[in-house]
Amino acid sequence: MAKMWAGVTDGNTAQIADDFNSSIRFDSRMYKQDITGSMAHAAMLGAQGIITEAEAAQLIDGLQGILDDLDSGALEVDMTCEDIHMFVEQVLTGRLGDVGKKLHTARSRNDQVALDLRLYLSEENRTIAGYVRDLIAAVTDKAEQYKDTIMPGYTHLQRAQPITFGHHLMAYAMMLLRDLDRLADCDRRTRVSPIGCCALAGTTYATDRRFEARQLGMDEIMRNSLDGVSDRDFCLELMGALSILMMHLSRFSEEIILWSSWEFKFVQLSDAYTTGSSIMPQKKNPDMAELVRGKTGRVYGDLMALLTTLKGLPLAYNKDMQEDKEAVFDAVDTVKMCLQVFTGMIETLTAIPENMKAAAQKGFINATDLADWLVKNGLPFRSAYKIAGQLVARCMAENTVLEDLPLAVYQEYSDLFTEDVYAAIDLTACVEKRISEGGTSLASVESQIAYVKEKLSV
């Protein structure tokens, strides 16, 4: 098919080359950003006298018409076009005639595509940030609900010390807050305008790049034209932030999968977010959590793909860079879906406090508190640690727990022991005594919740 860019070549490319070269299948989703960018460009050309104000107005009008028609479905994207940029220009020229051909003055597809992608990803970034906020709110609500529900806290997946389910959940709220911060930081560098860098070297026309940037709600412009058209850091940063976010969701998923197993049975997922087995009638599978965990690999893969694509590229634009879009769009689509499903799953999850408490009672998770009690009663920590260890061993040998061991047995190991020790190793007391900032006591969890809510309100 003959191309708009036919000139030194006759533009009659082979069909298979067209198919291979074309990006319209995946870049047509940027039509709104492409048209908005072109409107700002036309306005600038008019304001600078590069075209007449009347021509600029005609172009803007024509572009608005295309946008409306695409939005309403009256106009369909022609998938035989090379990309969305060519499509819009082709329709514009078809509708306006020669004036349409003036739009591409002092511009190249290289700065155009960089601009479109920045505008598009900034919007997606903000949508994702909204979903992350929803998830943080859901996690924080659950934490509030279970702020005094005792469960075992683990290290090495071995029962370690008693904590509350609320405390455990708030750990994820804190991770997600950092994700929000990373997204906002990435957005700051995404909203920098490359338009006016043109093909690579800038232009001989008296353009006003800052005027265009302002029209598009961007405060900054790319300061070097080669960098302006070659930079895809904003895609990598977004995928980096999304990879970390997915890693958090994946760890959370892993715990939910474990907790909903019969071995733990700490939580119950709602039927709306579980599936049955086609053969085993008793099964209630945590598919949503498993898929989120599974899709994490795919988001990492998207990041790796683009890092690898970019690593050997000379300046400035190279066609390799067209590969940026499928990777970053896949990451964005995947994360958006995962976040929404995850939030629904958390909102409808219920804890089973009896099982959490029972598990907390079995693992000697108050042994640290036993040692601490001895320290407070005059023993150096290492000696106290040793006695506590011997008492745990005694319990194991006698198949009992520290709470049920008679005082006389305690006193075989140290004459410091009094009846008071039982209050100190009571699980609720163990939790309540952990008053250090960020600890698991009720007051601390409540202040974590307040902190997160305050962060969400700004």
Residues that bind ligand ARG (CB under 6 A): 23, 27, 83, 109-110, 113, 317, 321-322
Q: How many angstroms separate the CA atoms of 353 and 442, rounded? A: 16
Kindly state the smallest distance separating residue 325's Cβ from ligand ARG, in Å. Answer: 6
Give the helix/strand (H/E) hosting 148: none
**Smaller CB distance to ligand ARG: residue 27 or 369?**
27
Kindly state the smallest distance separating residue 89's Cβ from ligand ARG, in Å. Answer: 12
**Smaller CB distance to ligand ARG: residue 234 or 317?**
317
Kindly state the smallest distance separating residue 299's Cβ from ligand ARG, in Å. Answer: 21
Catalytic member of 23, 270, 277, 383: 277
Handedness of CA 126, 128, 134, 139 (dihedral sign): negative
Kindly state the smallest distance separating residue 196's Cβ from ligand ARG, in Å. Answer: 16
Helix (H, G, I), strand (E, B) or coil at 351: strand
**Smaller CB distance to ligand ARG: residue 122 or 361?**
122
The Cα angle at residue 425 between residues 419 and 430, in degrees rounded to 5: 140
Q: How many angstroms separate the CA atoms of 293 and 247, rounded? A: 8
Instruction: Confirm whether 277 is a catalytic residue.
Output: yes
217 and 126 Cβ atoms separated by less than 8 Å: no
Kindly state the smallest distance separating residue 116's Cβ from ligand ARG, in Å. Answer: 9
Give the helix/strand (H/E) hosting 43: helix 31-47
**Smaller CB distance to ligand ARG: residue 110 or 250?**
110
Exposure class string for 309-338: b at 16+ Cβ within 10 A, else e: bbeeeeebbeeebbbbbbbbbbbbebbbeb
What residues contact residue 73 under an 8 Å CB cut-off, 6+ apart? Answer: none
Crossing angle of helices 109-145 and 442-457, in 10° steps, is 150
Nearest residue to 337 (alpha-carbon basis) of 131, 192, 73? 131
The Cα angle at residue 177 between residues 175 and 180, in degrees rounded to 5: 115
Give how far Cα 245 sits from Cα of 67, 111, 143, 227, Å. Answer: 34, 30, 20, 28
Q: How many angstroms separate the CA atoms of 191 and 189, rounded? A: 6
Catalytic member of 72, 156, 278, 457: 156
| Overall size of the chain counted in residues | 458
Q: What is the DSSP string of 88-137?
A: HHHHHHHHHGGGGGGTTTT--HHHHHHHHHHHHHHHHHHHHHHHHHHHHH
Kindly state the smallest distance separating residue 187's Cβ from ligand ARG, in Å. Answer: 21
Kindly state the smallest distance separating residue 65's Cβ from ligand ARG, in Å. Answer: 23
Residues with a catalytic annotation lie at: 156, 277
